[in-house]
């Protein structure tokens, strides 16, 4: 196989798919990219057996064929070549040559047949959705996913679809994020899948805020997203996601409307006194005032006060300040509404303009 390509044309897809290549693998082939040349098309595949990313480029190729090439080395070579450099790639049996101007590299290759591809793909449902809307759905909730929790089904994002809505839900057991979008489809009943954390992160890197429609295909064990020049496929987590509806708090009269930026700044100031282990802050809500207090094991103290719209009963509640800041970063409106029952029940945080995204944070006992 022989091909010639401009540095920038190759670099962008390489950067998009490199995330699927793990630095340590169980199989040597997984540190390589699969390169396949057809008539007018070049495809480059990266996989870690869980997530598979395929980039395709329209181009002329002499000698059809397939081979594999060390992923990080190819990327580093492309990165270090000068702008607009012409790169020639030549593969013979056991070696692959990459050259540009006076730079020449001979890289080891592995047979294309040894490269694992995701099989038993049984995609049975296609959903058309605007790329930007899909991205927003994921972005608004992904931060609340658990990380290496023994409850493996929490280490991912729940995607729930029915005929009228698409929802994403993430929770780590202490807080929960839920976002929904009205979207008509031909789905019967409701369908739940859990996309693993790594897949969520890679997908977010690939999605843009474009208005164009993309196809999301769902199967029993896989999810595939087809983008303009990229195909994303991920295995799904085989597990039951908790019944998230049960943890959404009940209505309460203790509702505070707060300017988001002021709250964020005050929390950021108070969190100066928190550390890795000690992230608790105390919120005191009383008669249009919110007092934010923080203290740490060294007996240092911080106190901040902001004006809010609040006429409910006096409340004193502790929270992990990181959880609150995560929520404020995910909400877009200028104001946020915080609805709290008492110091031992979960709090609901929403935008006053729309309840499409809802955030639940469990308090800390301080």
Partner 1 sequence: MQDIIHIDMDAFYAAVEQRDFPQYRNKPVVVGGDPDKRGVVATCSYEARKFGIHSAMPCARAMRLCPNAIFVRPRFELYRQISQQIRDVMFSYTDLVEPLSLDEAYLDVTQCKRSFGSPTLVAKAIKNDIKQVTGLTASAGISYNKFLAKIASDLDKPDGLTLITEKQGSEFVKQLSIGKFHGIGPATESKMQDLGIYTGADLLAWNLEELKSIFGKVSDYYYHAARGLDHRKVVSHRQRKSIGSEKTYNEDVGDIKEMLLRLENLAEEVWQDLSGKHMTARTVTVKVKFDNFVQVTRAVTLANDISKLGDITASLQDLLYKADVEGRRVRLLGVSVSKLTLLEQVDEEQLSLL
Please say which residue, 93 or 148, places its beta carbon nearer to partner 1.
148
Q: How near is the Cβ of 158 to partner 1 at its closest, in Å?
A: 13
Which distant-in-sequence residues (6+ apart) come within 8 Å of 53 by Cβ?
16, 17, 19, 20, 45, 46, 47, 202, 206, 230, 231, 232, 233
Whole-angstrom distance, CA of residue 288 vs CA of residue 140: 29
Q: Each residue of 65-92: b (16+ CB within 10 Å) or e?
A: ebbbbbbebbbebbeebeeebebebbbe
Please say which residue, 102 or 365, places its beta carbon nearer to partner 1.
365
Q: How near is the Cβ of 330 to partner 1 at its closest, in Å?
A: 17
Whole-angstrom distance, CA of residue 289 vs CA of residue 304: 10
Distance (Å) of CA 139 to CA 127, 135, 191: 19, 6, 20
Please say which residue, 175 or 235, places its beta carbon nearer to partner 1.
175
Region for 288 from its dihedrals, namely left if φ exceeds 0, alpha if ψ lies in -120 to 50, beta otherwise: left
Q: How near is the Cβ of 141 to partner 1 at its closest, in Å?
A: 14
Q: How near is the Cβ of 230 to partner 1 at its closest, in Å?
A: 28
Distance (Å) of CA 219 to CA 134, 186, 192, 246: 18, 15, 11, 27
DSSP characters over 263-330: HHHHHHHHGGG--SS--EEEEEEETTEEEEEEE-TT--EEEEEEE-B--S--EEEEEEHHHHHHHHHH
Please say which residue, 1 or 324, places its beta carbon nearer to partner 1.
324
Instruction: Give residue 362's Cα distance to chain centre.
Output: 23
Whole-angstrom distance, CA of residue 146 vs CA of residue 177: 11
Q: How near is the Cβ of 320 to partner 1 at its closest, in Å?
A: 6
Radius of gyration in angstroms for the set of CA atoms belonging to the chain, rounded to a whole number: 25
Please say which residue, 140 or 183, places its beta carbon nearer to partner 1.
140
Q: How near is the Cβ of 241 to partner 1 at its closest, in Å?
A: 10
Q: How near is the Cβ of 265 to partner 1 at its closest, in Å?
A: 23
Nearest to 13 by CA among 58, 56, 49, 64: 56
Q: How near is the Cβ of 201 to partner 1 at its closest, in Å?
A: 15
Q: How near is the Cβ of 110 to partner 1 at its closest, in Å?
A: 17
Please say which residue, 227 or 324, places its beta carbon nearer to partner 1.
324
Please say which residue, 247 or 302, places its beta carbon nearer to partner 1.
247
Using the Cα atoms of residue 314, residue 319, residue 324 and residue 327 in order, give the sign of their dihedral: negative
Please say which residue, 37 or 196, places its beta carbon nearer to partner 1.
196
Please say which residue, 68 or 320, places its beta carbon nearer to partner 1.
320
Q: Contact at 8 Å (CB) between 224 and 232?
A: yes
DSSP characters over 214-249: EEEEEESSEEEEE-SSEEEEEE---SPPP-GGGGSP
Q: How near is the Cβ of 366 to partner 1 at its closest, in Å?
A: 5
Task: Summarize as ranges the residues that interact with partner 1 (CB under 8 A).
Answer: 24, 26, 147-150, 171, 173-176, 242, 247, 276-278, 280, 297, 318, 320, 344, 346, 360, 362-366
Please say which residue, 44 or 178, places its beta carbon nearer to partner 1.
178
């Amino acid at each position: 196989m022989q091909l010639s390509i401009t540095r920038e044309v190759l670099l962008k897809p390489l950067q998009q798919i490199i995330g699927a290549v793990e630095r340590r693998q169980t199989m040597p082939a997984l540190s390589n990219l699969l390169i396949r040349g057809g008539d007018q098309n070049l495809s480059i595949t990266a996989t870690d057996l869980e997530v598979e990313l395929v980039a395709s480029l329209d181009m002329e190729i002499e000698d059809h064929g397939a081979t594999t090439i060390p992923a990080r080395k190819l990327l580093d070579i492309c990165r270090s070549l000068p702008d607009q450099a012409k790169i020639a790639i030549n593969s013979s049996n056991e070696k692959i040559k990459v050259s540009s101007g006076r730079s020449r590299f001979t890289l080891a290759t592995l047979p294309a047949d040894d490269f694992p591809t995701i099989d038993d793909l049984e995609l049975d449902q296609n959903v058309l959705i605007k790329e930007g809307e899909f991205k927003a759905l994921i972005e608004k909730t992904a931060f609340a996913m658990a990380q290496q929790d023994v409850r493996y089904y929490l280490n991912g994002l729940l995607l729930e679809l029915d005929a009228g809505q698409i929802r994403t839900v993430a929770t780590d057991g202490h807080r929960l994020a839920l976002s929904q979008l009205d979207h008509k489809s031909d789905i019967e009943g409701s369908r739940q899948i859990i996309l693993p954390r790594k897949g969520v992160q890679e997908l977010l890197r690939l999605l843009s805020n474009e208005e164009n429609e993309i196809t999301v295909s769902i199967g029993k064990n896989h999810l595939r997203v087809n983008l303009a020049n990229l195909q994303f496929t991920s295995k799904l987590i085989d597990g039951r996601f908790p019944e998230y509806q049960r943890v959404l708090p009940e209505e309460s009269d203790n509702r505070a409307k707060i300017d988001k930026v002021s709250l964020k700044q005050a929390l950021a100031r108070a969190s100066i006194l928190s550390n890795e282990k000690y992230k608790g802050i105390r919120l005191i809500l009383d008669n249009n005032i919110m007092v934010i207090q923080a203290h740490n094991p060294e007996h240092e103290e911080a106190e901040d006060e902001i004006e809010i719209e609040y006429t409910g009963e006096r409340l004193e509640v502790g929270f992990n300040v990181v959880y609150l800041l995560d929520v404020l970063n995910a909400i877009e409106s200028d104001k946020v509404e915080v609805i709290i029952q008492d110091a031992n029940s979960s709090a609901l945080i929403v935008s006053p303009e729309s309840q499409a995204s809802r955030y639940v944070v469990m308090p800390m006992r301080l």
